[in-house]
Structure 1
Amino acid sequence: MRVVVVGGGIGGLALGAGLRRRGFEVAVFDRDTDVAATGGYHITLDERALSALENLVEPEIMRRLLASGSALRLRERDVLWDRRGRLLGYGPDLSGSSSVDVDRITLRTLLAEAVGDGLRLGRTVSGIDHDDHGAPRVLFTDGPSIPADLVVGADGTHSVIARHLAGGPTSRPAGIIGFSGRTSLTDLSPAEQRRLGPRSGFAIGPRGAALYIGFLDPVGNAALDAPELRMSVTTGPTYIWGAMFPESAATESLRELRDGQLQAALLARFRRQGWAEHTLEVVARADSRSVAAFRFNAASTRAADLAPWPTGRVTALGDAVHATPPTAGMGAGAAIRDAASLLEQLSAVTDGTTTLTEAVNRFEAGMRLRGSEILTLAMKTVRWILATDTTLGAAATTVTTPILAAAARLRR
Structure 2
Amino acid sequence: MRVVVVGGGIGGLALGAGLRRRGFEVAVFDRDNDLAATGGYHITLDGRARSALGELVSPRTMRRLLASSSALRLRDRDALWDRRGRLIGRGPDLRDHPGIDVDRVTLRLLLAEEVGGDLYAGRTVTGVGTGDDGAPRVLFADGSATAADLVVGADGTHSLVARYLAGGRTNRPAGIFGFSGRTLRADLTPGDGDRLGTRSGMAVGPWGAALYVGFLDPVGNAALDAPELRMSVTTGPTYIWGAMFPESPATDSLRALRDGALRAALVGRFREQGWAEHTLDVIARADPRSVAAYRFNAAPTRAAELAPWPAGRITALGDAVHATPPTAGMGAGAAIRDAADLLHHLGGVEDGGTPTEAVGRFEAGMRLRGSEALTLAMRTVRLILATDTALGAAATALTAPVLAAAARLRRR
For the criterion TM > 0.5, the same-fold answer is: yes
- Cα deviation for residue 129 of structure 1 reads 2.0
Q: Secondary structure at the match of 2:44?
A: strand
- Cα deviation for residue 143 of structure 1 reads 3.5
Counterpart code for 2:370: G
Match of 2:165 in 1: 165
Match of 2:131 in 1: 131
**1:3-14 → structure 2 map (5 Å cutoff):** 3-14=3-14
Q: What is the alpha-carbon distance in structure 1 between the residues aligned to residue 250 and residue 141 of structure 2?
A: 35
**1:80-159 → structure 2 map (5 Å cutoff):** 80-159=80-159
- Cα deviation for residue 250 of structure 1 reads 1.3
CA shift digits 1:203-252 (9 cap, x unpaired): 11000000000000000000000000000000000000000000111111
Q: What is the alpha-carbon distance in structure 2 between the residues aligned to residue 130 and residue 201 of structure 1?
A: 48
**1:4-403 → structure 2 map (5 Å cutoff):** 4-352=4-352, 354-403=353-402
Q: Secondary structure at the match of 1:295?
A: strand
TM-score scaled by structure 1? Answer: 0.99
Q: What is the alpha-carbon distance in structure 2 between the residues aligned to residue 25 and residue 204 of structure 1?
A: 48
Counterpart code for 1:120: Y
Q: What is the alpha-carbon distance in structure 2 between the residues aligned to residue 225 and residue 156 of structure 1?
A: 33
Q: What is the alpha-carbon distance in structure 2 between the residues aligned to residue 401 and residue 31 of structure 1?
A: 46
Counterpart code for 1:115: V
- Cα deviation for residue 34 of structure 1 reads 1.0
Q: Secondary structure at the match of 2:176?
A: strand
TM-score scaled by structure 2? Answer: 0.99
Q: Secondary structure at the match of 1:198?
A: coil
Q: What is the alpha-carbon distance in structure 2 between the residues aligned to residue 87 and residue 394 of structure 1?
A: 19
| Deviating more after overlay: 137-146 vs 167-176 | 137-146
- Cα deviation for residue 351 of structure 1 reads 2.2
Counterpart code for 1:186: A
CA shift digits 1:363-390 (9 cap, x unpaired): 0000000000000000000000000001
CA shift digits 1:45-83 (9 cap, x unpaired): 000000000100000000000000000000000000000
Q: Secondary structure at the match of 2:348?
A: helix
Q: What is the alpha-carbon distance in structure 1 between the residues aligned to residue 403 and residue 129 of structure 2?
A: 57
Q: Secondary structure at the match of 1:51?
A: helix
Q: What is the alpha-carbon distance in structure 2 between the residues aligned to residue 130 and residue 343 of structure 1?
A: 22
Counterpart code for 2:89: G
Q: Secondary structure at the match of 1:207?
A: helix
CA shift digits 1:29-48 (9 cap, x unpaired): 00000111111000100000
CA shift digits 1:278-337 (9 cap, x unpaired): 000000000000000000000000101000011110000000000000000000000000
Q: Secondary structure at the match of 2:307?
A: coil
Q: What is the alpha-carbon distance in structure 2 between the residues aligned to residue 309 and residue 357 of structure 1?
A: 12
- Cα deviation for residue 277 of structure 1 reads 0.3
Unaligned runs of 5+ in 1: none
Match of 2:405 in 1: 406
Q: What is the alpha-carbon distance in structure 2 between the residues aligned to residue 409 and residue 50 of structure 1?
A: 36
- Cα deviation for residue 28 of structure 1 reads 0.3
Q: What is the alpha-carbon distance in structure 2 between the residues aligned to residue 317 and residue 131 of structure 1?
A: 22
Q: What is the alpha-carbon distance in structure 2 between the residues aligned to residue 296 and residue 375 of structure 1?
A: 12
Q: What is the alpha-carbon distance in structure 2 between the residues aligned to residue 131 and residue 205 of structure 1?
A: 54
Q: What is the alpha-carbon distance in structure 2 between the residues aligned to residue 253 and residue 107 of structure 1?
A: 33
Counterpart code for 2:296: F
Q: Secondary structure at the match of 1:126?
A: strand
- Cα deviation for residue 91 of structure 1 reads 0.2
Q: What is the alpha-carbon distance in structure 2 between the residues aligned to residue 410 and residue 233 of structure 1?
A: 41
Provide the aligned length of Structure 1 versus Structure 2.
Answer: 411
Q: Secondary structure at the match of 1:278?
A: helix
Counterpart code for 1:400: T
Q: What is the alpha-carbon distance in structure 2 between the residues aligned to residue 368 and residue 287 of structure 1?
A: 39
| Deviating more after overlay: 256-265 vs 279-288 | 256-265
Counterpart code for 2:361: R
Identical positions, percent: 78
